[in-house]
């Protein structure tokens, strides 16, 4: 979890759990992440309040005694919090438990385990074992992914370098809408500001760190946006036949079926989603892979190599 996300989670928990108004002094003293001089802390706190309000979290402002000019305090009333714990079903609690297991030590980190402990303290038990699902450990260690998740929640435009089909890095700017995995890769969906349409970007093709562009709340997520629908376009419904050196190109083998073996080569049927991505994957493994069929694919790869040579010399 990024430091900003962790600070926002801690601030939300503190304002929810308090039985009295929390002053800025209390917040700066007890919540890790507010550093620098007083002006820096003030700016950081104002940005955090705006982030939480953009997420639909209502922060109340008040004082200990309205008859005196006490220092202003803040709190979040549990009954006005967006997610009403008391209205969640047993199945929903079980899904929360399952999500915690899947994201442990990643985006949610210790905060998710703390949330489960809070639910237990309320006498609410969950039974994730009864769900017909297999929890998996997800690797979200890429700092770009954590940055993108923050940008989606705050609705900030982001920019980054991205390798095109000819392995040339281009600057892209998008309104990030969602993230998801398909075929072992992370994808981010967003409205490309140059192309003026929603596109998918594969995280391992980013050539630079993600940067914020502008303020929070800069765009609205389309009501008909569904990340899973976009990921369907990455389904591996096509196939080709290739020769792969023994014990090489393991990234391709997990999407392949071995047909036969001869000398130091294996013959594989490889499934793929798009030809552009297939060419990139094959070129990555250089002479450890030879195309058997279709023959048209050989010509396409030769043209791709010619474009790369022309661009890079």
Interval 276-299: pLDDT, tens: 778 888 888 888 999 888 888 888
| CA 25 from centroid of its chain's CA atoms | 33
Residues 6+ apart with CB under 8 A from 224: none
Per-residue model confidence (pLDDT) at position 119: 46
Q: Express as a percent the part of the chain with pLDDT over 90.
A: 18
Mean pLDDT of 49-74: 76
**Residue 183: pLDDT above 50?**
yes
End-to-end alpha-carbon separation of the chain, Å? 41
Q: Which tops the pLDDT comparison, 310 or 135?
A: 310
Residues 6+ apart with CB under 8 A from 226: none
**Residue 135: pLDDT above 50?**
no
CA distance 215 to 153: 12
**Residue 62: pLDDT above 70?**
yes
pTM over 0.75: no
Which is nearest to 173 in space by CA: 219, 229, 142?
219
CA distance 113 to 111: 5
CA 231, 93, 117, 50 dihedral sign is: positive
| CA 192 from centroid of its chain's CA atoms | 17
Q: Which tops the pLDDT comparison, 235 or 138?
A: 235
Which is nearest to 203 in space by CA: 157, 239, 172?
172
Mean pLDDT of 130-139: 42
Please compute Rg for the chain using Cα positions: 25
Q: What is the mean pLDDT of the chain?
A: 77
Residue whose structure tokens are 């376009």: 233
Instruction: Take residue 85 and report the two structure tokens written for it.
Output: 């714990």
């Amino acid at each position: 979890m990024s430091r900003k996300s962790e600070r926002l989670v801690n601030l939300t928990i503190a304002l929810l759990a308090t039985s009295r108004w929390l002053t800025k002094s209390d917040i700066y003293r007890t919540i890790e992440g507010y550093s620098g001089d007083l002006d820096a802390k003030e700016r950081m706190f104002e940005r955090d309040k705006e982030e939480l309000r953009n997420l639909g979290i209502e922060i109340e402002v008040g004082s200990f005694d309205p008859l005196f000019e006490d220092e202003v305090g803040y709190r979040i009333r549990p009954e006005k919090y967006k997610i009403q714990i008391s209205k969640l079903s047993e199945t929903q609690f079980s899904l929360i438990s399952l999500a915690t297991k899947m994201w442990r030590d990643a985006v949610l980190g210790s905060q998710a385990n703390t949330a489960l402990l809070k639910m237990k303290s309320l006498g609410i038990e969950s039974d994730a074992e009864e769900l017909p699902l297999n929890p998996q450990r997800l690797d979200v260690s890429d700092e770009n992914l954590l940055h993108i998740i923050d940008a989606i929640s705050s609705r900030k435009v982001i920019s980054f370098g991205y390798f095109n089909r000819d392995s040339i890095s281009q600057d892209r700017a998008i309104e990030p809408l969602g993230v998801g995995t398909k075929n072992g890769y992370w994808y981010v969906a967003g409205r490309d500001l140059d192309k003026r349409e929603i596109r998918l970007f594969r995280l391992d093709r980013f050539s630079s760190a993600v940067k914020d562009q502008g303020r929070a709340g800069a765009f609205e997520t389309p009501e008909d946006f569904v990340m899973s629908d976009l990921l369907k376009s990455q389904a591996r419904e096509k196939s080709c036949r290739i020769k792969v050196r023994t014990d090489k190109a393991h990234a391709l083998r997990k999407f392949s079926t071995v047909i036969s073996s001869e000398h130091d080569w294996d013959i594989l049927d490889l499934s793929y989603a798009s030809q552009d991505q297939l060419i990139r994957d094959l070129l990555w493994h250089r002479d450890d892979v030879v195309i058997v069929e279709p023959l048209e694919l050989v010509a396409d790869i030769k043209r791709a190599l010619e474009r790369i040579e022309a661009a890079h010399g």
